Structure 1
Amino acid sequence: MEKTYELKNLDCGNCAAKIETAVKKIDGVQAATVNFVQTKMAITCPAEDFAKVEKQAQTIIHELEPDVEMIDLSQQSDGHQHDDSHLKKDIWRIALSFVALIILSLANLNDLPRLIGFLLLYGFIGGDVVLTAARNIIKGQVFDEHFLMAVATIGAMLIGEYPEAVAVMLFYQVGELFQSVAVGKSRKSIKGLLAIRPDYANLRTATGEQEVPPQEVAVGAEIIVKPGERVPLDGIISNGETMVDTSALTGEAVPRKLVVGDQILSGFVNQTGVIQITVEKNAADSTVSRILDLVENASSKKAPAENFITKFSRIYTPVVVILALLLAVVPPLLFQQAWSEWIYRGLTFLVISCPCALVVSVPLTFFGGIGGASKAGVLVKGSNYLELLSQVETVVFDKTGTLTKGVFEVQEIATSLPEKDFLRLAASVEANSSHPIALSILKAYQGELLPVEDIQEISGAGVLATINQKRIAAGNLRLMEELGILVPKVTTVGTIIYLAEDNDYLGYLIIADEVKADAQTSIQQLHQAGIKQTVMLTGDNQKVGTAIAEKLGIDQVYGDLLPEGKVEKLEELMADNQKIAFVGDGMNDAPVLARADLGIAMGGLGSDAAIEAADVVIMNDAPSLIPKAIAISKKTLRIVKQNIIFSIGIKVLVLALGAVGFASMGAAVFADVGVTLIAVLNAMRALRTKD
């Protein structure tokens, strides 16, 4: 069982990591993840242990972060008013402290009044930081930002640097305020991308329409959606027609026309007509719920860069604290240097050492990239997959439904029988199949079918069936060869279905598929983006595959493949140690999607198989979103690298300057809070995507 909570007032990435680590250690907890960006915590444990686990988690969180409230999302209340008032209090406190600092610095006071004045001001602006540091030390949590700021500024007070101690604490609070505002805006931007879950449904009842929560609508019920309203549940239109805006789910800006009998998905916006929908899925299983759940929980699958930052911060901070201590003590003891000077340098070292910029900005960048991709119509199921997407060197495609529309039509018939009789025989044999080829034959015939017995599907080859006590074979060349039936050579490009009766050849029909409009451009863009090789794996014959591959500019093509043959061919390609992404329709290609380094489901919107099997889901049918997804991933990784290099680089520089006496505590505060703010603002760029 999994339960999700809001962690209200969680404003520190390092604190989020500490809470996650501590909750994971609770007896009975199977998994625990803390999403700093969304201030959410998910706990998985047996249902019978939940009451005990929840109580222990609340105790742990209160010990680690007394200001953080653990709130069950089902009981969540609106906290905007509290947050706004808290922000106003911080602004007033900072403004008053700034004025008081100037007055005290300019005033000509004796030593004692001056000391008392600065002590009072220090307590006013930094008392909460010192108290938090003291509480954490008692609990054994020493190396955090509160400890570093408290020790550094108290040390400055002890050596007589009163104005600097107060100024450092003041600038720290200013930085924390700006950081909180920046992270808050980023959170709102990300949540805005995902604000597509409808609040109500217009349920049709015997007494008229009734506005109810989507969770209360049963499968099979009828709901009404009016113009301007968002579709609350997946279903089939039973009355009316309309234009719908699908951009929230698919990224597609052009409205789509839907009529009676068409499937309509939750999250779409009804634009023109009043429609009635027969509900096919409950709220928990609806498309919008599944997508929101995957996007919101994507941060639990962390990229290597995020794992590196977590490990780095655990080692880095204690090491720098030890170096600061050595810096303050060794020169005065061994080289008779002035204690005050070297203690000041050691304290500066402490202020610099907090790794907040990395701990906050790197996860924020990845989540921003996932949110930006979602806005563009690409669902990435974790930051690890987003990073992997940027490393892909070979893209392998399925053909039908991926690069082609999957809409087959009978183009040619060659037979000695009357054409209608031939089509009737073929349609009767294929009547029980949902394969696009079979559906196209049924569409071409559209008449009364013959009774069929003893149906036997031959995977990747065709169908055997008995009609009027005669054995009918319908399939490709391989099936005919296995049955020992001689058939004529056909040069026309397309899928060829041969028909035989009791091993006597009857004729063939050719079915052709249409290439998607943006498929060729997408292949070109992939090559321009640095993809080394594009490959097509298809169950269709080699000739058809080669013709389409040459038209699109695909490097290699392998045809006549069964599902297991696709897996074998993919494994051969993977032997070259290149990162490979497989793009399929998410249904027939589930084994290959799962086997590839990265599985990308095309046209997977509303498909359970696609969402389960793939790591990335293209939420409409456009291949052009694949190069766009790769571009988003590369941009996200560039921002991550920028933040890592910038944060570590500035800290190392200021640490070096502080060690030799060229960096004041003001520079140290910039190296901590200022760098964090800049990194967070840079991370927010990952939310923006270009067409």
Structure 2
Amino acid sequence: MSEENKPKEWSFKKNVAFTVLEEDRHADHKDDGCDATCGHGPGRHHTAHAETAEEEGRLVPNERVRSYRIEGMDCSSCAMTIENHLRMNPAVKQVRIHFATGKMQIEHDNTADDIVQEVKKAGYRATPIYPIGGAEVRQAGWRDPHQSMTVLSGVLLLFGYLGQFAGVSDDFRTLLYALSIIAGGYKPARSAFYAIKSRSLDMNVLMTTAAIGAACIGEWLEGATVVWLFAIGNMLQTRSMERTRNSIRGLMSAAPVEAWVKQGGLLVRKPIGELAIGSTIIVKPGEKIPLDGDVIDGQSAVNQAPITGESVPADKGAGDPVYAGTINESGALEIRVTKLAQDTAIARIVQMVEEAQEKKAPSQAFVDRFAAIYTPLVFGLAVLVMIVPPILLSEAWSEWLYKGLELLVIACPCALVISTPVAIVSAIGSAARNGVLIKGGASLEKAGQLTAIAFDKTGTLTTGKPRVVHTTVWEGNETDLLSIARTIEERSKHPIAAAIVRQAEERAAPVLVGANYNNFVGKGAGATIAEVEHFAGSPKLFEELGAGQGTWQTEAIAMQREGYTLVLVGTRERVMGMLAVADTARETTVEAIRGLKEVGIRHTVMLTGDNEGTARKIAGESGIDEYFPELLPEQKVGSIARLQQRGERVAMVGDGINDAPALAAADLGIAMGGAGTDTAMETADIVLMADHLEKLPYTVRISRQALRIIKQNVWFSLIVKIVALLLIFPGWLTLWMAVLSDTGAALLVILNSMRLLRKTH
């Protein structure tokens, strides 16, 4: 291998190493799933994404990195134990486990079965994650085989405890307690063995040490109670965590794995993984749409809630896009496939949400740093408590060994460490099911801290489709006026011309015979109708034509001040009438702005390239506090900067394409209509999958609730630890109480975070 093609190795945090060949650094963006909008130059592409992965604790995707689902983890220390155990295997090049999502990314040279067996040795289950649309997307739920042993442990403990009231001998009760410890402690003891072997200090090690220590000093009841409480707490935590992790995996079952394919006039049932772009599929009423595509024939109402969160079905007809996982409610649809199974909107949502759940939020990084200091500090204190008083102060060994064992239990910051990631996973998963894609814990935290939101006007606050809202006739009648205007404008593709043609069609105004069509750039157009030159254009055009002074000028000025775009219709000598065109506010805009103010957004701003009158009109209709008119795209960035200089934390809402500079300049970029726009899904921090604003107040609300729950979890975890520490030295804390405080606190933190799963708009 030449010098320039030797592998370059970067050492990452969390002991992760990633190797990239120099020649691969210039690979096409699509090779590793990165969109061209990432903004990295060819020479910086892989390096930049390697740095991003380092910051987020992820592995950079490549053809050698495989993903597995890990089941049975109840604390983040479990993930560290499995990681360290796998790193000792020479076939494993790199590995990263995300406790919150239960997902493992690993690069290995041996088989998937080998990895599954290695994980099983440590007491957990690994299941390969296959590509979407593959045969093994649906996996059977996992039942921990040690649950029955936990039940047996509890029964033996109960019999031993009740035996003291039935005259059972101490030796027999001790035997029952010992058997209870073995039954309930087998799994944590085995996990502790692998943790010690891989140089990890996790909860299993601490609890196993505490149980053995209790037995050594003759506290058999305490030891058995510790083991059973720890086992039952772990079982409950595991179940709760799996439910949290499944909050987003449930979306996967929304898309069917087979489709009815039209082939030579026949319908054939085929797996979606075998279909190509351009295939024609048939979806019957009541069935789920298997792949993204465009409707060729048929009309139906489609429930798009799994993608956009919309509660009202959308009407679909020829030419309309449809998405995998949505439900065809009424008529049969013939659909042309536009995306493969792994590229559908729902597949991308699942992939991006899982990636988002794996990204660490600033608060989580802080908690992890705190825990990294807290655990060894308390562990060291426990060792000193066991040794120093008996040796230096001639105190009783049993008493101080017991206090040291209590400190060992308290040394594990399990509840504190999971306080943040569980809340983030719950919030992001809940938002995804409601049509909002939040791309990471950092974005979630920023959304919860917003004070101001800036909006692009066209297509965001407004429909983006101008329409005729007022007609003034000075000569003839409205039908004649619209016929002339339609004849002149029908050949134009300008949005305003299209609005006039639509109005004429709705009023049944016919097209007249025209000739000698002319276009006056930026002013209007003209044509000869009935041997007379007619024009349709701005007031400026008719002033240049010398159409004479009249009342039309006064009315035109008044209408322009109100924010309307005017199209006058007439000849060189006179003005026959006037059409007022406006891009109207969306029906949901006013409600959305009101909802944002109710959730604490104190300032709303509109950024637009339109004139002062139009901007003022839309701002007034929408309830916007402030507007900046006549802005070029690059000038919107300056407006965002001015808001930030006022001390505002600003989000920019746009379409994710034209507003890219402003989206990047804002503290948080929010794109609309992401279901049909890959670029929007890639560029923005938050994506509203539907093309309207009513999800925006919900997004801010769930983000703020997530921040509140994170603070509640962190403070609760710290207070429980502090109280437990204070109760040790007066002798008021027992070993089983210490275990109960730790496992109980962790369980309560998970349950508190799971409240976010029920959060709807």
TM-score by length of 1: 0.84
Q: Which residue of structure 1 lines up, in the alignment, with residue 347 of structure 2?
A: 289
Q: Which residue of structure 2 lines up, in the alignment, with residue 496 of structure 1?
A: 565
Deviation at residue 610 of structure 1 after TM alignment? 2.0
2:256 matches 1:201:
no
Distance in 1 (alpha carbons) for counterparts of 2:444 and 2:541:
42
2:301 matches 1:234:
no
Aligned residues: 666
Tell me: CA distance 1:619–1:114, structure 2 relative to 1, closer, same or farther (3 Å): closer
Higher deviation after alignment, 591-600 or 531-540:
591-600
Deviation at residue 228 of structure 1 after TM alignment? 1.3
Q: Which residue of structure 1 lines up, in the alignment, with residue 405 of structure 2?
A: 347
Tell me: CA distance 1:690–1:76, structure 2 relative to 1, closer, same or farther (3 Å): closer
What is the identity, as a one-letter code, of the residue corresponding to 1:550? G
Map 1:169-318; keep pairs closer than 5 Å: 169-192=227-250, 195-206=253-264, 208-318=266-376
Distance in 2 (alpha carbons) for counterparts of 1:27 and 1:37:
27
1:612 to 678, 682, 696: 682
Deviation at residue 441 of structure 1 after TM alignment? 5.0
2:384 matches 1:326:
yes
Distance in 2 (alpha carbons) for counterparts of 1:79 and 1:377:
25
2:618 matches 1:548:
yes
Q: Which residue of structure 2 lines up, in the alignment, with residue 602 of structure 1?
A: 672
Q: Which residue of structure 2 lines up, in the alignment, with residue 6 of structure 1?
A: 68
2:448 matches 1:390:
yes
What is the identity, as a one-letter code, of the residue corresponding to 1:134? F
Tell me: CA distance 1:398–1:54, structure 2 relative to 1, closer, same or farther (3 Å): farther
Check whether the contact 1:538–1:545 (CA below 8 A) recurs between aligned residues. yes
User: For 1:379, what is the secondary structure of its paired residue?
Assistant: strand
Deviation at residue 158 of structure 1 after TM alignment? 1.7
Deviation at residue 23 of structure 1 after TM alignment? 8.2
1:380 to 422, 438, 442: 438
User: For 1:491, what is the secondary structure of its paired residue?
Assistant: helix
Check whether the contact 1:538–1:560 (CA below 8 A) recurs between aligned residues. yes
Distance in 1 (alpha carbons) for counterparts of 2:449 and 2:350:
26
Distance in 2 (alpha carbons) for counterparts of 1:332 and 1:57:
49
2:103 matches 1:40:
yes
2:755 matches 1:685:
yes
Check whether the contact 2:488–2:536 (CA below 8 A) recurs between aligned residues. no
Map 1:1-150; keep pairs closer than 5 Å: 1=32, 2=61, 3-11=65-73, 12-17=75-80, 34-42=97-105, 52=109, 58=115, 62=119, 65=122, 67-69=124-126, 71-73=128-130, 76=136, 80=140, 83-84=142-143, 86=145, 88-102=147-161, 108-109=168-169, 118-141=177-200, 143-150=201-208
Note the alpha carbon deviations across 1:300-350, whole angstroms, 9 max, x for none: 222112222222222211111011122222333333322211111111111
Deviation at residue 646 of structure 1 after TM alignment? 1.0
Distance in 2 (alpha carbons) for counterparts of 1:129 and 1:353:
16
Map 1:273-672; keep pairs closer than 5 Å: 273-411=331-469, 428=491, 430-431=492-493, 436-437=495-496, 439-440=498-499, 443=502, 490-492=557-559, 493-496=562-565, 510-672=580-742
User: For 1:622, what is the secondary structure of its paired residue?
Assistant: coil
Deviation at residue 362 of structure 1 after TM alignment? 2.4
Distance in 2 (alpha carbons) for counterparts of 1:248 and 1:77:
18
Deviation at residue 546 of structure 1 after TM alignment? 0.9
Check whether the contact 2:157–2:176 (CA below 8 A) recurs between aligned residues. no
Tell me: CA distance 1:476–1:285, structure 2 relative to 1, closer, same or farther (3 Å): farther
Deviation at residue 192 of structure 1 after TM alignment? 3.0
Deviation at residue 690 of structure 1 after TM alignment? 4.1
Tell me: CA distance 1:560–1:22, structure 2 relative to 1, closer, same or farther (3 Å): farther
What is the identity, as a one-letter code, of the residue corresponding to 2:99? F
Distance in 1 (alpha carbons) for counterparts of 2:195 and 2:373:
18
User: For 2:339, what is the secondary structure of its paired residue?
Assistant: coil
Tell me: CA distance 1:477–1:328, structure 2 relative to 1, closer, same or farther (3 Å): farther
Check whether the contact 2:450–2:601 (CA below 8 A) recurs between aligned residues. yes
What is the identity, as a one-letter code, of the residue corresponding to 2:382? A
Note the alpha carbon deviations across 1:378-429, whole angstroms, 9 max, x for none: 221222211111000111111122222223113468999987666555554x
Tell me: CA distance 1:275–1:397, structure 2 relative to 1, closer, same or farther (3 Å): same
Deviation at residue 116 of structure 1 after TM alignment? 5.7
Deviation at residue 669 of structure 1 after TM alignment? 0.8
Distance in 1 (alpha carbons) for counterparts of 2:481 and 2:162:
104
Distance in 1 (alpha carbons) for counterparts of 2:90 and 2:732:
50
Higher deviation after alignment, 161-170 or 612-621:
612-621
Check whether the contact 2:451–2:650 (CA below 8 A) recurs between aligned residues. yes
1:164 to 222, 225, 229: 222
Check whether the contact 2:116–2:126 (CA below 8 A) recurs between aligned residues. no
Distance in 2 (alpha carbons) for counterparts of 1:449 and 1:10:
77
Distance in 2 (alpha carbons) for counterparts of 1:596 and 1:479:
40
Deviation at residue 357 of structure 1 after TM alignment? 1.5
Check whether the contact 2:453–2:650 (CA below 8 A) recurs between aligned residues. yes
Higher deviation after alignment, 669-678 or 509-518:
509-518
What is the identity, as a one-letter code, of the residue corresponding to 2:356? A
Check whether the contact 1:373–1:380 (CA below 8 A) recurs between aligned residues. yes
What is the identity, as a one-letter code, of the residue corresponding to 2:600? G
RMSD: 4.2
Deviation at residue 521 of structure 1 after TM alignment? 2.5
User: For 2:262, what is the secondary structure of its paired residue?
Assistant: strand
Distance in 1 (alpha carbons) for counterparts of 2:244 and 2:153:
23
Distance in 1 (alpha carbons) for counterparts of 2:748 and 2:116:
34
Deviation at residue 66 of structure 1 after TM alignment? 5.3
Tell me: CA distance 1:198–1:56, structure 2 relative to 1, closer, same or farther (3 Å): closer
Check whether the contact 1:496–1:508 (CA below 8 A) recurs between aligned residues. no
Note the alpha carbon deviations across 1:201-241, whole angstroms, 9 max, x for none: 21111151112222322222211001111111222222221
Q: Which residue of structure 2 lines up, in the alignment, with residue 459 of structure 1?
A: none
Higher deviation after alignment, 13-22 or 504-513:
504-513
Distance in 1 (alpha carbons) for counterparts of 2:515 and 2:199:
80
Structure 2 stretches of 5 or more lacking a match?
1-31, 33-60, 506-510, 529-534
Distance in 2 (alpha carbons) for counterparts of 1:216 and 1:657:
64
Distance in 1 (alpha carbons) for counterparts of 2:407 and 2:516:
86
Higher deviation after alignment, 487-496 or 197-206:
487-496
Distance in 2 (alpha carbons) for counterparts of 1:348 and 1:479:
88
User: For 2:596, what is the secondary structure of its paired residue?
Assistant: helix
Tell me: CA distance 1:450–1:84, structure 2 relative to 1, closer, same or farther (3 Å): farther
Tell me: CA distance 1:138–1:32, structure 2 relative to 1, closer, same or farther (3 Å): closer
Deviation at residue 444 of structure 1 after TM alignment? 5.3
Check whether the contact 1:364–1:680 (CA below 8 A) recurs between aligned residues. yes
What is the identity, as a one-letter code, of the residue corresponding to 1:324? A
Distance in 2 (alpha carbons) for counterparts of 1:189 and 1:318:
34
Structure 1 outlier segments of 4+, above 6 Å: 20-32, 53-57, 413-419, 445-456, 463-468, 473-481, 486-489, 497-500, 504-508
Distance in 1 (alpha carbons) for counterparts of 2:580 and 2:158:
85
